[in-house]
Amino acid sequence: MHAARLTDSLCYHGEGPIWSASWGGAGALRWVDMLAGEYLQLDPRTGAITRTATGSPVVACVRPRRGGGAVLALEKGFGLQDPDGTITVLPSLWDEPVRMNEGAIAPDGTFWCGSMAYDRTEGAASMWRLGTDGTAIRAWDDVTISNGLAMSPDHAHGYYVDTPTGRVDVLDWDETAGFVDRRTFRDLDDEDGHPDGLTVDAGGRVWVAMNGAGRALCLEADGTVAERIEVGARQVTACTFGGEGLTTLYLTTSRENLPEGEDPAAGSLFAVEPGVSGVAEELVFGG
């Protein structure tokens, strides 16, 4: 299958798409222009796109918040957006040259987001957990480029990517301990590109963006590749299901570090109808 290009090259580093029924009245897609510190919102009914500055040099991830608004992963920590759009930046979590990168909401309403060093130093980053009381803790260390994180439909497992490992990992979800027992789900070193952001469909299959390959893969429960989605830009960064019935797979792309004029569709938003739907239950931050 081939994804269609929906927008012009709007982002330098497009990332982190997410659909929420709580945004835009009848539902909307948001994604980030990460290194510009801005997020974009698409109204699928009209095609209108708005862009919002967060006040941070980086916004790595945006997820819906119970009661309206959003929770944000910013350069060195987290922020909370109220329904009226006001953003409150929470205290910085570190001083080192490290930034947030990708995250997801867990079944208990906490927000988990991993980081990466600007120079991509091996093992210099961490996974962080923002509690519903606004308290952040470091969940685990020895991360290099923390990327995709998504829950299985039954909330029993989480799927996770630390890109330089070349793998998608799976973890068990424990209501008390959080994510535990990390292990390999699928080693993707035999595929072109590098695993980046991911999502899970209603049947439990994992869809992972392969940065550098211009495609996304659909992985069955046993890790075998069931489908390849070709995208007209090489640096595919992340994907999510949205739209009516959650039947559209949206894919973000980046033009980070590309010479001017190379890969002209890079930074655009793409979409495809793969014949499956996303997870109907929406996990929202409980704060």
Contact 23, 37 (CB under 8 A): no
Contact 124, 114 (CB under 8 A): no
Pairing of strands 167-174, 157-162: antiparallel
Contact 112, 97 (CB under 8 A): no
Tokens of 154: 């039954």
Amino acid at 45: R
Please compute the mean of the pLDDT values over residues 103-125 and round it to a whole number.
Answer: 96
Q: Each residue of 129-152: pLDDT tens digit?
A: 999 999 999 999 999 999 999 999
Fill in the DSSP letter of residue 165: G
Distances (CA, A) of 60 to 36, 102, 114, 243: 10, 6, 10, 22
Residues contacting residue 219 through CB under 8 Å, at least 6 positions apart = 168, 185, 186, 205, 206, 207, 208, 225, 226
Q: How many CA atoms lie within 13 A of 16 on its CB side?
A: 33
Q: Which pLDDT score is estimated for 287?
A: 58
Whether 181 is a known active-site residue: answer: no
Q: What H or E segment, with its residue span, contains residue 225?
A: strand 225-230
Structure confidence at residue 283 as a pLDDT band (50, 70, 90): confident
Q: Which pLDDT score is estimated for 24?
A: 83
Strand partners, 168: 186
Which residue is catalytic, options 162, 169, 196, 201? 196
SS3 content of the chain, % helix, strand, coil (to 5): 5, 55, 45
Vertex 216, ends 71 and 10: CA angle to 5°?
Answer: 55
Strand partners, 253: 236
| Mean pLDDT score of the chain | 95
Q: Which pLDDT score is estimated for 68?
A: 87
Q: 54 by DSSP, 3-state: which?
A: coil
Q: Give the C-alpha separation, 210 to 198, whole Å.
A: 9
Contact 40, 263 (CB under 8 A): no
Q: Each residue of 8-31: pLDDT tens digit?
A: 999 999 999 999 998 987 899 999
Q: Each residue of 217-232: pLDDT tens digit?
A: 999 999 999 999 999 9
pTM of the model: 0.96
Structure confidence at residue 281 as a pLDDT band (50, 70, 90): low
Domains observed in the chain: 4-257+268-272 (2.120.10.30)
Structure confidence at residue 271 as a pLDDT band (50, 70, 90): very high
Q: Give the C-alpha separation, 238 to 252, whole Å.
A: 5
Rama region for 161: left / alpha / beta (φ>0; ψ in -120 to 50; rest): beta
Q: Each residue of 45-91: pLDDT tens digit?
A: 889 999 999 999 999 999 999 988 999 999 999 999 999 999 999 99
